[in-house]
Chains A and B, each alone.
Chain A
Amino acid sequence: MSKFVRVIDTKRCMGCRSCVAACHVENHLTPDSPWNVMMEYEVGSYPNVGRQFTTMNCMHCENPPCKLACDAIGVKAISKNEFGVVLIDYNKCIGCQYCVATCPYGVPQYNESVSNLYPGAEATPAEDRSKGTWHATHKKKEKTVQKCTFCWHKLEKAVEKGEDHLIGKVPEYTPTCDLVCPVEARVFGDIEDPNSAPAQWVGRKKAAQLKKEFGTRPQVYYVLEGGDY
């Protein structure tokens, strides 16, 4: 069975934010609720200082605390499918924010309002969410929670066509953020395939999961300065 993971090499990342911009365009950003952010901070002490960049999105945990919390209160708006993608059903979400409170990575974003691209102006034709062409994950609703979907609208097409073996290998079946990196600081694919780039990176570059103490077993790995811990 395939298990899709993302590996982000923070040693290569130069903080250009191409992945952030690509996500915003691909997933129709609602400004207060980003799905992909760039963390930036300084390391070292003068004169030996450097700048560190780490892009963060949903970790699609194998033990997602957001789903456990959502299930525990009977809402069951969060699911984890057979490909390991954690998704939120906006029609079931009651906006309680229990998922926001439990996620150790601070990923789920409560959507207070779905604002237009240009504040104070009418929605542009491209923002018309009533159109049938919009994927369910993009039909964002007020007072619900949203987050990165591993670009499920793209992976789903591969599954529907029976081409899931091409996920992570061809652009139309790969999350957009992973396609645009100009320095190849991120890869996406099946970690169960020993020849895939993510499997190679996890082994060779000692990529690590963040905050292992929470037992969430994220499906996003990071190549960190200093290696695994």
Chain B
Amino acid sequence: MKRFTIMALLAVGTLLMAGTVLAAEATDLDDIAEGIRNGDIDVGKRYDMNKNKGRYHLIHSETIGLDCESCHVAPKFAPDYLLFNKDNAEAKATGHGKGPKADVVDRSVCLGCHKTNGVATTWYRTVDK
């Protein structure tokens, strides 16, 4: 009985800690997103895909701290995956195209933050307003 109580307390403690960390991360991301939107966090004014100077990569890799593999994970898509520029993306990813690893992001990676009520600006209206 005593062992069970200790284990239950440990489990509850672990869950609480994990919850606190997740909540803190969510709050941090909320703050970052809001900071970017209202200009408190400087990510430049260059709207393009340049991975060093463009806002797009500065926000995702520098400010939020995502590493390249967080998004550029799938240079090879499933055969039945319907993506208009799939062939082009795969050619680029394998170095046969114009640049390495361009265009190969599966947009489901973006969905987590950019959905309705997500922390980032809404691109995907998963719930109609």
Contacts and interface: CB of A to CB of B under 8 A. Distances in A.
| Chain B binding surface, main DSSP class | loop
Nearest to A222: B82
Interface residues of A, number: 37
Given A41-B79, A56-B84, A102-B110, A215 B124 contact: yes
Place the interface of chain B in its size category. 20 to 34
Interface string B89-112: 100000000100001010110110
Contacts of B47: 73, 75, 94, 96, 98
B84 A37 contact: yes
B72 interface: no
A63 B125 contact: yes
A214 interface: yes
B123 A105 contact: no
Interface stretch (B2-10, B13-21, B22-30, B114-122): B114-122
B41 interface: no
A95 B48 contact: yes
A95 to B, nearest CB: 7
B111 A39 contact: no
Contact of B84 (A42, A98, A107, A213): A107
Contact of B126 (A37, A109, A214): A214
Contacts of A39: 82, 86
- With most chain A CB atoms within 10 A of its CB, the pick from B83, B89, B116, B121 is B83
Contacts of A68: 121-123
Interface string A46-64: 0000001010110000010
Contacts of B1: none
A106 B49 contact: no
Contacts of B79: 41-42
Interface of B: 47-49, 54, 56, 79-80, 82-87, 89, 98, 103, 105, 107-108, 110-111, 114-116, 121-128
Which 9 residue pairs are nearest across A and B when measured between Cβ atoms? A41-B79, A215-B126, A96-B47, A106-B84, A65-B123, A104-B107, A106-B85, A106-B83, A63-B125
Interface of A: 37, 39, 41-43, 52, 54, 56-57, 63, 65, 68-69, 72-73, 75, 94-98, 100-107, 109, 112, 210-211, 213-216
